[in-house]
Structure 1
Amino acid sequence: MAEYERSRTMPALPEQVFDRAADVGRFDAWLPGELHVHAEEPPAVTVHEDQGDRDTAAQLRTERDQMRIEWGTREQGGYAGWLQVAGIGSGASEVTVHLSFFDDRHDPGERAACDALDSSLRRLEQQVRLGTEHMSG
């Protein structure tokens, strides 16, 4: 089993960050570019991976009162992950994303996983900034 985790501070209230992160219709704006999530009957989703042109049955749960999103594969149990938003004062938040790969066939390796997590967190921060600028402007 392999596990990877990254965190990033964002200049917005935790509720604003969570709302942006948890909006399934906007996942493409911050997830790695090759992954696309299609909502089905909650909590079911399908994750399409461009690289292998394959769909994976997954589930997605959002817990707004805990500022947490959890996901994972439904049938194979190959991977799971979570995103946690925490307020750190002064209108800022820390976002942590964690991935667990239970099947080596799903594990992209440490470098690729950490690069994808860092890139996703940067993209999420950009989306949060755009959302907060739009709200204040």
Structure 2
Amino acid sequence: MSEYERSRTMPDLPEHVFDQASVVSWFDSWLPDELHVRAQDPPALTVHEDSTGEDAAALFRADRERMRLEWGALDGSGYTGWLQVAGYGTGASEVTVHLSFADWRLDPGEADVLGALDRSLQQLEEQVRLRVEGAG
């Protein structure tokens, strides 16, 4: 099993960051460019990957009380992930994203996964910053 994790500080309260991250229709603004998510009947999602041209069924759960998102593939591949938002008590937050690949054949490799996680967190931070600046 391969596991990857990255964290990034966000310039807003954890509740606001969680709200930004948990809206399925906003995922395209911060997920890797090659992934596109469509909501189905909750908690079901369809994830389209440009590189393969394939759609995959997945489950998604947002737990606002714990400030946690969780997802996983339904194809038996063992691909799962979570996103956790934690507050610093200073008006800033930390977002941690974790991915697990139970099947090593589906693991794109450390450099690709960590690069995608870093880009996604950077894009989420940009979206949060735009919302904060727009509110100010």
TM-score by length of 1: 0.97
One-letter amino acid of the counterpart of residue 127, structure 1: Q
State yes or no: 1:92 paired with 2:92.
yes
Match of 1:62 in 2: 62
- 2:110 counterpart residue number: 110
Distance 2:28 2:47 in 1: 11
Aligned position for 1:21: 21
Matched letter for residue 58 of structure 1: A
SS of residue matched to 2:69: strand
Q: CA deviation at 1:13?
A: 0.2
Q: Which runs of 5+ in 2 are unaligned?
A: none
Mapped to 2, the partners of 1:11 and 1:135 lie a distance apart of 13
Q: Which moved more, 1:75-84 or 1:20-29?
A: 75-84
How far the C-alpha of 1:77 sits from its partner, in A, is 3.4
Correspondence 1:1-137 to 2 at 5 A: 1-136=1-136
Output the CA distance in 1 between the equivalents of 2:17 and 2:62. Answer: 13
4+ runs of 1 displaced by more than 4 Å? none
The secondary structure found in structure 1 opposite 2:17 is helix
Q: What is the Cα-based RMSD across aligned positions, in Å?
A: 0.8
The gaps in structure 1 that reach 5 residues or longer are none
Partner-residue secondary structure (3-state), 1:89: coil
Q: Is the 8 A contact 1:78 1:106 kept in 2?
A: no
Is the CA contact (8 Å cut-off) linking 1:5 and 1:114 kept in structure 2? yes
Report how many aligned residue pairs link the two structures.
Answer: 136
